[in-house]
A = this chain, B = another copy of it.
Amino acid sequence: MTHAAARPATLEDVARAAGVSRSTASRVIAGTGFASPDARDRVVAAVDQLGYVPNPAARALVRGAGVRLAVAVTGTTSAVLDDPYVDRVVAAAARVCTPQGLGVALHWLPRHAPQALRQLAFDRGVCGIVLVNTTEPVLDAVPRSLRGRIASIGIGSAAVPSFDVDNGGGATAVLHHLHATGRRRIAMVTGPRWLSCAGRSVRAYRQVMREAGLPVRLVRGDFTATRGRAAAREVLDRWPDTDAIFAASDATALGVIAGLRRRGVRVPGDVAVAGFDDIPLAELSTPALTTASHPVGRIATAAAQAVLDRRPTPPATFFPSALVPRDSA
């Protein structure tokens, strides 16, 4: 039973109630060091009875550890933080942190000022960092002191383990599907140039096209729907005989469909459209969007976990992306 006290119990209270010293109580609770079964039991009972919860601030202070995990998103402006993708990452990280008495902070890392990362590294309140949309310059700016407590969702480096979706595999699956259903002039709307991890799906595209002896038709995108709309027009103007468009994100794909529609092009009748991410609304759009899955929550959970556990981590972990065939392609 939890006894409701006016003032939350401290370790001192627990120790007194258990008839042991603070040190012993601490050892039992932190699970570090030795303690007799008897002492252990009494401490556990006292903890339970008083509803004791360790004060994470005190703990962090004495251990020299931080109290929050920083999610740092690289981007040109702070607008990159206004993104459902970032929201997912932050929420997933928060779920991982909560049981440990930690919190999550959200930072924008200016793309052209990667030194900002050092600030974060020096903040004694930060126990670890999860990088999002990382670039090579940012990775190069990672100070030694961050070793073992930083991970990246996207590309990684020798010092920074990476966690990401296998966009190469997902893209290949989508493109094979397009090819298998008879499409032969397949254009792709890519992600932003500066985002290296977006390059993997472009490489997959080039390779599939080469193997199939098909022409390469690339249009630069930025993951947004707005850009997708414009990109659709661009594709139509440059290569009027295009019969399929693969977009690097679902939002872009939806924009592409809207753009196509406006020009009187039928989807998937005239042009098939496929996206990437399988966002919740992909299956609700009309036509339902063919896409590839992207387990953002699981990826972010793994990255946050790796940072908190400070456990040896493989340099790169890829999460499979599966084709989700629906109506648009």
Contact = CB atoms under 8 A, between A and B. Distances in A.
Given A66-B57, A102-B103, A118-B4, A281 B286 contact: no
A105 B106 contact: no
Interface stretch (A171-179, A181-189, A234-242, A249-257): A249-257
Nearest to A122: B8
A4 B284 CA distance: 52
A244 B278 CA distance: 29
Contacts of A101: 68, 123, 125
Contact of A2 (B69, B84, B107, B119): B119
A126 to B, nearest CB: 9
Contacts of A255: 284
A129 interface: no
A106 B104 CA distance: 9
A315 interface: no
A123 B53 contact: yes
- How large, as a class, is the contact surface on chain A? 35 or more
A81 interface: yes
Interface string A120-138: 0011110000000000000
A33 to B, nearest CB: 22
Contacts of A286: 257-258, 261, 285-286
B67 A94 contact: no
A91 B124 CA distance: 22
A88 interface: yes
Contacts of A102: 68, 103, 105
B97 A87 contact: no
A55 B125 contact: yes
A17 to B, nearest CB: 16
A68 B280 CA distance: 30
Nearest to A52: B122
Nearest to A105: B98
Contact of A225 (B2, B66, B284): B284
Contacts of A15: none
A251 B284 contact: yes
Contact of A107 (B56, B98, B122): B98
A71 interface: yes
A58 to B, nearest CB: 5
Given A6-B145, A8-B124, 18 more contacts: A4-B118, A51-B122, A55-B61, A56-B124, A67-B67, A68-B68, A68-B102, A69-B103, A84-B88, A94-B104, A97-B105, A98-B105, A103-B103, A225-B281, A225-B283, A225-B284, A254-B284, A286-B286
Interface of A: 2, 4, 6, 8, 51, 53, 55-58, 60-61, 66-69, 71, 81-82, 84, 86-88, 90-91, 94-95, 97-98, 101-107, 118-119, 122-125, 143, 145, 225, 251, 254-255, 257-258, 261, 279-281, 283-286, 297
